[in-house]
Amino acid sequence: MKIAVITDSSVYLEEEYKDRDNLFILDIPIVIEGETYYEGRNLSNKEFYQKMAASSELPKTSQPSLARLEELLNDLNKNGYTHVIGLFISKGISGFYQNSFYLQNEYEDMTIKFFDTLITSAPLGYMVETVLNEAKDGLDFEQISNHIDEIIEKTRAYIVVDDLNHLVLGGRLSNGAAIVGNLLNIKPILEFDRDGEIVVLDKVRSSKKAYKRLISIIEDGTKYGDYKIFVIHSNANDLAEDMVSNLRKEGFDDISIASFGAVIGTHLGENALALAISPIVK
C-alpha cells in the first residue's frame, strides 16, 4: 500500500510532519485589501494579524481549488499511489468537502476516501498526523479509516472570542446577538456542533468565567477514555500559556498549544481562545 494524505492550509501541524513526502496541502486563498495571500507560503501568522489589524475591512477566504485537487490526484495516480485519504476543513464552515466528494470515485486504480472532519486547525492536524504515523507503522487502510472515524466522532472544540464582530461579519453569528454580547460583556462559549458548524453553546458574563467554564466542559468531556487536549489561540500566546497552567493544576498533562492561522483567524479575530479534545486511538 502506498498512501497519500491530502489536507488544506487551515490545518495546524507539528513541524516534524510538514515535510513528509506523502503529505499534500491545498492552499486556501486569503484576500486582504485586494491582495491574495496563501498561508504558510507568502503569509506568516504574525504578518496576517498585523495586516488584519491595519485593514479597513475583514479579510476574505475562499475554498481550495478543485482543479488543483484533481491535478494532484492525477499526479498521485501516475506516481503509483494506491490509497488516498483526504482530511479537509469542516463542511460547516466551507463547501469544499461537498464539492470535492465526487472525485473519490473517479480513479479506478486508487482507493480514495475523503472525510468530513467537522473541525479544523490542531484537531485536523492530529487526524493528519495519525494517518501518517499509522501508515508508516504498516496499518492497513481499513484500520486507519476506522481510527479516523473514531477521532472525528469523539473530537470536540469550544471557543471564546474577544470580539463577536468578526463572527458577525463572517456570517457566523447574528448581528443582534453580537451587539448584546458586546454591550453587556457577555462571552458566548461557542462549539463546533455535529454538523461542523460554529454555534453558541453557552453564555457567560466575563472572560474569566468563560475560561473557567471551558475547563469544566473539558473535564466532563474527558471522563471516559484517554484524550489529547489542544489549547488554540489567535495571536494570544500569553492567554494560551495561562490556560495550559490552569489545566495542569486540574491534573491534565497531554496538552499541546497551537495557533489559529489566517483562515480561521479571519472569522474569530485576535485573542480568541479554544480548547479542543481528541481521543487517543489504540
Question: Quick one: average pLDDT of 163-179?
Answer: 60
> pLDDT tens digit string along 203-238?
888 889 999 999 999 999 999 999 999 999 999 999
> pLDDT tens digit string along 236-279?
999 999 999 999 999 999 999 999 999 889 888 899 999 999 99
Please report how many Cα atoms fall inside a 13 Å half-sphere around the Cα of residue 112, on the Cβ side: 22
Q: What residues have CB less than 8 Å from 58, skipping those under 6 apart?
A: 52, 166, 169, 170, 266
Overall pTM surpassing 0.85 (yes/no):
yes
Q: Which cell is 231 given?
A: 489549547
Q: Which residue, 172, 159, 73, is CA-closest to 122?
A: 159
Q: What is the pLDDT of residue 154?
A: 97
Question: Quick one: average pLDDT of 181-207?
Answer: 81
Sign of dihedral through CA atoms 59, 172, 161, 215? negative
Q: What is the pLDDT of residue 202?
A: 86
Domains of the chain from N-terminus onward: 3-28+63-154 (3.40.50.10170), 156-279 (3.30.1180.10)
pLDDT for 181 beyond 90 = no
Q: Which cell is 86 given?
A: 483526504
Strands (E), the chain: 3-8, 23-26, 29-32, 35-38, 60-61, 83-88, 111-116, 156-160, 186-192, 198-205, 227-233, 255-259, 273-279
Q: What is the pLDDT of residue 152?
A: 97
DSSP category for residue 201: E
pLDDT for 179 beyond 80 = no
The CA distance from 34 to 184, in Å, is 35
Look at 165-169, 180-184, 186-190 and tell me which has the smallest mean pLDDT.
Answer: 180-184
What are the Cα distances from residue 207, in Å, to 114, 193, 261?
37, 22, 22
The CA distance from 277 to 274, in Å, is 10
Higher-confidence residue of 240 and 167: namely 240
